[in-house]
């Protein structure tokens, strides 16, 4: 039995017909969604889909062009200070001051957040420790690895003890070990009650962290829901993917076939017919697996380049 509350808590973020244009380009196109307290929502989408623009609207970096947006029941831009006091942001690009040490970066941000000296000192020590950065506290920025820089960005976003954490591609370019430690930290924050908005290109990241994902394409939310539910709703259970076939074999009616570029995909709810097909394929580049979030992503956003 799930311990869902009897009543639905009010949404922290509400968007209705939210739109942002840059000249002729509609970067965010009439999106609607609610984000509830303690949810982790993952935003997926090809490059240029509008994920960062949507996050920037939420943390009051830019004005909307049309529609409605509220954050904690407040109005972004107009009530930006009150909102941002309660939000932590990890930007897509690292924007730490390269002249400062790790601890100094946090000290400067603590001043900006208006933390008093004592609170700041305690909080900085706690965050450096929690993100395993204490040994690097006085190291200059240049001595930090990519993973340390990202962890430092997360520490900075958490300084003001936010209620809502926005992470724009928190682990892009990081090695698997660092990525897994960051995921563990984010899951711990979620257990403590944090609401998290995350953009990512890593399907596993979205699946590991998100209660719901929203897949965006050309400014629109094309599909949304819990990752496993999306996979069940929109795809067969099994996929056989193969490349290097001169010609795709004819298949029985219980197998659906798609060709994209030089790759063939065979889908079925039963494993056995795909296994039988797998054994006949004259290519070493074949894999039989469960359908996953990436299959959903590609189904809704297409397999071609968007830029």
Q: How many Cα atoms within 13 Å fall on the side-chain side of residue 264? A: 23
List the one residue from 50, 147, 162, 170 that touches ligand ATP (CB under 6 A): 50
49 binds, among ligand ATP, Mg ion, none (CB under 5 to 8 A by kind): ligand ATP
Token pair for residue 137? Answer: 């506290």
Minimum CB separation from Mg ion for residue 85, in Å?
24
Q: Which residues pair with 60 in a beta bridge?
A: none
Name the binder of 25 from ligand ATP, Mg ion, none, CB < 5-8 A by kind. ligand ATP
Using CB under 6 A as the binding rule, whether residue 42 contacts ligand ATP is answered as: no
- Which helix (H) or strand (E) segment holds residue 222: the answer is strand 220-225
Looking only at residues 23 through 82 of this chain, which bind Mg ion when binding is defined by CB under 5 A?
51-52
Here's the x/- map for ligand ATP, 80-119, by CB under 6 A: it reads as ------------x---------------------------
Stretch in the footprint of ligand ATP (CB under 6 A) among 44-52, 73-81, 103-111, 238-246: 44-52
The correct pick among 22, 111, 122, 233 for binding ligand ATP (CB under 6 A) is 22
The kind and range of the H/E element at 147 are helix 146-158
Among 141, 111, 135, CA closest to 123: 111
Distances in Å between the alpha carbon of 157 and those of 95, 162, 296? 12, 8, 31
Site membership for ligand ATP, residue 45 (CB under 6 A): yes
46 vs 273 by CB, closer to ligand ATP: 46
Would you say 172 or 181 has its CB closer to ligand ATP? Answer: 172
Three-state DSSP state, 204: helix
Instruction: Report the partner that residue 260 touches, choosing among ligand ATP, Mg ion, none (CB closer than 5 to 8 A by kind).
Output: none
Closest to 32 in 3D by CA, of 20, 57, 14? 14
Q: Which of 27, 102, 120, 206 binds ligand ATP (CB under 6 A)?
A: 27
Q: What is the DSSP string of 260-302?
A: ETTEEEEEES-HHHHHHHHHH-S-S-EEEEE--HHHHHHHHH-
User: What does DSSP say about strands 212-217 and 87-90: parallel, antiparallel, or unpaired?
Assistant: unpaired
Which among 51-59, 116-124, 158-166, 258-266 is the span making contact with ligand ATP, rule CB under 6 A?
A: 51-59
User: How far, in whole angstroms, is CA 115 from its chain's centroid?
Assistant: 29
> Based on CB atoms, which residue is closest to ligand ATP, 45 or 170?
45
DSSP at 253? T
63 binds ligand ATP (CB under 6 A): no
| Partner whose footprint covers residue 22, from ligand ATP, Mg ion, none (CB < 5 to 8 Å by kind) | ligand ATP
The binding site for ligand ATP (CB under 6 A) comprises: 22, 25, 27, 45, 47-53, 92
């Amino acid at each position: 039995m799930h311990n869902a509350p009897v009543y639905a808590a009010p949404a922290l973020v509400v968007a209705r017909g939210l739109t942002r244009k840059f000249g002729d380009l509609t970067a965010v196109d009439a999106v609607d969604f609610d984000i509830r307290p303690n949810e982790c929502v993952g935003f997926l989408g090809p490059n240029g889909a509008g994920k960062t623009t949507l996050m920037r609207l939420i943390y009051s970096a830019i004005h909307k062009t049309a529609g409605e947006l509220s954050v904690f029941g407040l109005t972004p831009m107009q009530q930006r200070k009150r909102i941002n006091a309660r939000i932590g942001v990890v930007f897509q690009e690292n924007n730490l001051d390269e002249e400062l040490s790790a601890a100094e970066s946090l000290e400067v941000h603590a001043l900006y957040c208006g933390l008093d000296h004592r609170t700041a000192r305690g909080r900085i020590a706690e965050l450096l420790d929690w993100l395993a950065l204490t040994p690097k506290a006085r190291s200059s920025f240049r001595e930090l690895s990519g993973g340390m820089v990202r962890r430092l960005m997360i520490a900075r976003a958490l300084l003001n003890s936010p209620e809502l954490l926005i992470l724009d591609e928190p682990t892009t370019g990081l090695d698997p070990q660092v990525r897994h430690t960051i995921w563990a930290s984010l899951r711990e924050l979620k257990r403590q009650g944090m609401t998290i908005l995350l953009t990512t290109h890593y399907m596993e990241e979205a699946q590991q962290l998100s209660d719901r994902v929203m897949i965006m394409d050309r400014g629109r939310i094309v599909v949304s829901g819990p990752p496993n539910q999306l996979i069940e709703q929109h795809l067969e259970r099994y996929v056989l993917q193969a490349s290097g076939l001169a010609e795709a074999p004819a298949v029985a009616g219980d197998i659906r076939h798609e060709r994209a570029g030089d790759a063939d995909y065979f889908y079925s709810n039963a494993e056995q017919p795909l296994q039988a097909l797998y054994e006949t394929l004259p290519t070493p580049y074949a894999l039989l697996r469960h359908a996953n979030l990436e299959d959903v992503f590609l189904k809704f956003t297409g397999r071609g380049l968007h830029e």
